Amino acid sequence: MKRVIALLLGAGLGLTVPVQGQTVSPFKLGTFQIQNRTFVGIVLRDSVVVDFAAASRAITPASKVMLPADMKDLIARYESGLRDRIVQVVQSVNARTGGRPGYVYDLAAVKTMPPMMYPTTMLNVAVNYTEHGAEMAARDASRATPAAPQGSALPGTKSAPGIWERKPGDNRWNPYMFLKSPTSVIANGESIQLPVGRTEIDWECELGVVIGRKASRVPAAGAKDYIFGYTLENDVSDRGGRGDTRFAGSDWLIGKSHDTFAPLGPFIVPREFVPNPQALPIKVLLNGKPFQEGSSADMIHDVYEQVEYGSNIMTLRPGDVISTGTPPGVGSAKKPPVYFKAGDSLSCTYEGIGTLVNPVVGPVSSASSR
């Protein structure tokens, strides 16, 4: 554990990290805009952004690898020469003395966009932390299952043939996923907009798994090879229900896919710089006050199992995102409940991955407001 923390701290400070036999300065990747020009950027020390295409054209020796059109293209061709070129660019920038080249910007001088514009598929995982399940059960007595602890399968639970095969001795419930619309995606710093007439809007700070290559029926044991890296998603949730009792009043479309309900980013950390995605401290602040704290170690199903489950249902493609569930501390489980209001600000942190910050604004009724 101490080694993991040291590596994560090294990534935050811009120190070198041994990866695949190389000594590599850690970097993150994102999509940025300056003067209405959008580019894929390399983030160093969480403080500067390198325009990858411009830098690659400027440094020598020249690269024979075609530059990426966008983040999805970079992800798809990362292992086919683009990673090596990024490392060359990082080494060149770090080795420079004197004036800063024109392709390097202060992070504050550029506009941060969603890292992918936009994921084709977004899969979110429901109740993947035991204590979050317990707080939701306490909030809603109808969810209580006294026959089994939260996270544990009820007696008689079966496999889902072809999707999730229960192994002997596995007492966990089966994974549960839902689709979240990519139209909900906004960037770090952009505003979560409260929907008209909806007053019970909540937050869920989650680790996002970014798929690196086409994945169909991938076993958990080999899932790491299909992961490009990690980002953050705030799975903003409308707890107000649908107003009737159809399907027990549950409606995942209303609950999860309003416009602006998927803040994503701010960047992607390639998996080579995340030694253990199941050892990341989590902290969430609402207006500076701690609400969610925990560790990704507390997931019921780990990130590799989630890739297996999702890819057994649909083919996942480069740039798709699996959002892996949230720890306890959501507002709707508080007594009394705490919901977003205009003027709020939420900060979502997974140590070693980054911090996603979004303000909250009130409803805008105009259809052309976004």
Per-residue pLDDT band for 24 (boundaries 50, 70, 90) equals: confident
Per-residue pLDDT band for 99 (boundaries 50, 70, 90) equals: confident
Model confidence pLDDT, tens digit, residues 182-217: 999 999 999 999 999 999 999 999 999 999 999 999
Which pLDDT does position 42 carry in this prediction? 98
Per-residue pLDDT band for 150 (boundaries 50, 70, 90) equals: confident
Residue the block writes with tokens 């996942």: 316
Rg (CA), the chain: 21
Which pLDDT does position 130 carry in this prediction? 86
Per-residue pLDDT band for 367 (boundaries 50, 70, 90) equals: low
Which of these ranges, 12-16, 132-136, 223-227, 306-310, has the smallest mean pLDDT?
A: 12-16
* 2 has a pLDDT exceeding 60: no
- Residue 64: what residue type? K
3-state secondary structure of 155: coil
* 331 has a pLDDT exceeding 70: yes
* 18 has a pLDDT exceeding 50: yes
3-state secondary structure of 327: coil
Which of these ranges, 204-208, 275-279, 281-285, 330-334, has the smallest mean pLDDT?
A: 330-334
For the segment 152-171, the average pLDDT, to the nearest whole number, is 93
**Rounded Cα gap, residues 141 and 139, in angstroms:** 6
For the segment 121-134, the average pLDDT, to the nearest whole number, is 89
- Residue 59: what residue type? I
Q: Under CATH, domain 122-361 is a member of which superfamily?
A: Fumarylacetoacetase-like, C-terminal domain (3.90.850.10)
Ramachandran quadrant class, 343 (left: phi over 0; alpha: psi -120 to 50; beta: rest): left
Residue the block writes with tokens 């707890």: 239
Q: Taking the domains of the chain in order of start, what are their residue ranges?
A: 2-113, 122-361
For the segment 228-238, the average pLDDT, to the nearest whole number, is 98
Q: What is the dihedral of CA 362, 366, 368, 370, to 10 degrees?
A: 10
* 317 has a pLDDT exceeding 90: yes
Which pLDDT does position 147 carry in this prediction? 58
Which of these ranges, 3-17, 25-39, 104-118, has the smallest mean pLDDT?
A: 3-17
Residue the block writes with tokens 């995606």: 185
Burial category of 125 from C-beta neighbours within 10 Å (exposed 0-12, middle 13-18, buried 19 and up): buried
**Cβ atoms 323, 125 nearer than 8 A:** yes
Per-residue pLDDT band for 20 (boundaries 50, 70, 90) equals: low
Per-residue pLDDT band for 285 (boundaries 50, 70, 90) equals: very high
Burial category of 181 from C-beta neighbours within 10 Å (exposed 0-12, middle 13-18, buried 19 and up): middle
pTM score = 0.91
**Cβ atoms 298, 130 nearer than 8 A:** yes
The overall average pLDDT reported for the chain is 91
For the segment 89-113, the average pLDDT, to the nearest whole number, is 94
**Cβ atoms 291, 337 nearer than 8 A:** no
Residue partners of 136: CB distance under 8 A and separation at least 6 = 127, 143, 330, 332, 333
